[in-house]
Amino acid sequence: MSLPHFDLESRLNNFDPAIRAEALDDLLAGATLALPTETANLHCHTFYSFNAYGHSPTSLAWLAQRQRMKLIGMVDFDVLDAVDEFLAACDRAGVRGTAGIETRVYLPEFAAHEINSPGEPGVLYHMGVGFISSSVPDDVAPILADLRARAEQRNRQMVERVNAYLAPVMIDYDADVLPLTPSGNATERHMVMAYISAANRQVDDPVTFWANRLGMTVEQLASLMQDAPKLQNSVRSKLMKQGGVGYVQPDAGSFPSLDDFHTLITACGALPCAAWLDGTTSGEQQIGALLELLIERGVVAFNIVPDRNWNIADPAQKQLKMKNLYQVVQLAGELDLPLNIGTEMNSYGQRLVDDFDAPELEPLRDSFMDGAYTIYGHTALARWAGLGYQSAWAQAHLPTRRARNAFYRQVGRALEPGSSGARLPFDDGWTPGDILSRLSVKPF
């Protein structure tokens, strides 16, 4: 007897990859695939780092199909564990898929400025997009391993500090946190969930306990506990973010260098990608100089989370951040940096996909979609022919970013999702015009 649709969707998030794959097969067997609309979300965390809705890589591919997204991209903190599964699931679901990684690096040239990590001068959230495999070349494998090891060391040290503050409520990192993850890559949000669960088990009155530890009244805390995401955010903010007992101000030795991270990304044929917050920090108020520096060091793409730059209740803040958003999109265009946009999904309440029909975003739709098609076009040609954006072939035939963007954007629009690309006889002896002609696209 077949499982109900809801049960199959829940199985997409099982920690066993075989169960996830079987559930997707069953869902696809009974589905009429939806025709996609011109929407994209290329920044979705999976449960290999943290997804607030619990989505696995396979589940995200199914979500994109049901939400009628034209393109979807996963991005995880510090690991590439999801890449193979995600791209394969996108093939099966008939969705254009891209894959990336995110971490924090230290940028000494901006050591005196907050950039896109509030309260942390010199620290830069930074990305690589357009990966095609979870495996990396042997010579850069230590860099990837170091990302995971640094994150785990920070987490374990934070648990020691928070345990001391919350005693008698305490957690064991191995026993209480790691089982919440499919492959041991825990985040602060996993630790928060472990602490809330531990308090429910270890004290008689969790409401009074958390009220005392978070500096709230019992009445405030009782109300907060009716909204699990808000409680989690409050615990994380009080204990683990700047000013919290578990927080340690990072310095030059806390994170990998920009150049090491770029070495990993480019060795995999992927694209170093800068990331935008909202333009209000002293570092981002120098965005022209910042991007010039990052481009010199290898950046070829630019990530934006649109929703936090316009969907704002305070009118003055909305006006300011929208002005910054429009200006930075224009700057990215002038610098030939394709945009990687999305909602993150690592905090409950974030959209499943941006609302491109909103009056605030509609003027930016073409820039957003052009960037998404460009990154997918790179991904598809890199997977099926080894002719990605960073390849020697691309450098020879398309020496400028502008030329590459135009070519890979057209490939991304023309090349349908799935494994059909593998059947096209791409050859590194072909010119870009040859490929576009093969795809029935008028050469640019």
Residues 309 and 223 in one domain: no
Residues 319 and 426 in one domain: yes
* Residue 150 lies inside a defined structural domain of this protein: yes
**Residue found under tokens 């472990």:** 194
**Residue 203: domain span:** 145-239
Instruction: Return the structure tokens found at 82.
Output: 């999801």
Phi, psi of 48 (to 5 degrees): -75, -15
* Residue 264 lies inside a defined structural domain of this protein: no
CA distance 365 to 401: 21
DSSP label at 176? I
| Tally of domains within the chain | 3
| Residue 41 CA: distances (Å) to CA of 59, 189, 260, 301, 355 | 14, 22, 27, 15, 10
* Residue 130 lies inside a defined structural domain of this protein: yes
> Each residue's pLDDT tens digit in the chain (444 positions)?
455 566 889 999 999 999 999 999 999 998 887 788 999 999 999 999 999 999 999 999 999 999 999 999 999 999 999 999 999 999 999 999 999 999 999 999 999 999 999 999 999 999 999 999 999 999 999 999 999 999 999 999 999 999 999 999 999 999 999 999 999 999 999 999 999 999 999 999 999 999 999 999 999 999 999 998 899 999 999 999 988 999 988 887 889 999 999 999 999 999 999 999 999 999 999 999 999 999 999 999 999 999 999 999 999 999 999 999 999 999 999 999 999 999 999 888 889 999 999 999 999 999 999 999 999 999 999 999 999 999 999 999 999 999 999 999 999 999 988 766 666 677 778 999 999 998 877 655
Residues 318 and 369 in one domain: yes
Residues 64 and 191 in one domain: no
* Residue 253 lies inside a defined structural domain of this protein: no
As a residue count, the chain comes to 444
* Residue 246 lies inside a defined structural domain of this protein: no
* Domain containing residue 116: CATH number: 3.20.20.140
Residues 24 and 76 in one domain: no
* Residue 249 lies inside a defined structural domain of this protein: no
Residues 16 and 92 in one domain: no
Residues 129 and 174 in one domain: no
Residues 416 and 318 in one domain: yes
Instruction: Return the structure tokens found at 389.
Output: 């954006």
Residues 73 and 174 in one domain: no
Residues 290 and 196 in one domain: no
Residues 164 and 214 in one domain: yes
* Residue 262 lies inside a defined structural domain of this protein: no
Residues 18 and 51 in one domain: no
